[in-house]
């Protein structure tokens, strides 16, 4: 498991996941109610600070943020400038 996924899982489990709820890299963070608007904002702030990237408003779409897998891909692409 990548460092990005480990960091994301830790953040989600610590701040957002319902106690006792199991999540994996393909769990929907929105459909399974792990992200609300405040948690989404906290997640974006953490991502920007941790990886020194700017999350642009047009990038805040479901496909980029719905799962840990999608988030990892998005963050990796931002870090690599693609």
Does residue 72 lie in a domain region? yes
Domain at 75, CATH number: 1.10.1200.10
pLDDT digits 0-9 by tens, 54-82? 999 999 999 999 999 999 999 999 999 87
CA-based Rg of the chain, rounded to a whole angstrom?
Answer: 12
- The answer to whether 54 and 29 are in contact (CB under 8 A) is no
- Tell me, rounded to whole angstroms, the distance of Cα 34 from its chain centroid: 11
Total number of domains in the chain: 1
Does residue 21 lie in a domain region? no
Does residue 45 lie in a domain region? yes
Mapping DSSP to helix (H, G, I), strand (E, B) and coil, where does residue 48 land? helix
Domain extent at residue 66 = 3-16+26-79
Position of tokens 């399974």? 32
* Maximum distance among all Cα pairs of the chain, rounded to whole angstroms: 37
pLDDT digits 0-9 by tens, 28-48? 998 988 888 888 899 999 999
Rounded to two decimals, what is the model's pTM? 0.89
Does residue 43 lie in a domain region? yes
């Amino acid at each position: 498991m990548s460092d990005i996924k480990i960091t994301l899982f830790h953040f989600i489990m610590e701040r957002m996941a319902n106690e006792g709820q199991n999540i994996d890299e393909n769990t929907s963070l929105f459909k399974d109610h792990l992200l609300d608007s405040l948690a989404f904002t906290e997640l974006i702030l953490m991502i920007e600070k941790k990886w020194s990237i700017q999350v642009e408003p047009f990038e805040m779409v479901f496909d980029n943020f719905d799962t840990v897998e999608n988030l990892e891909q998005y963050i990796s692409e931002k870090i690599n400038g693609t």
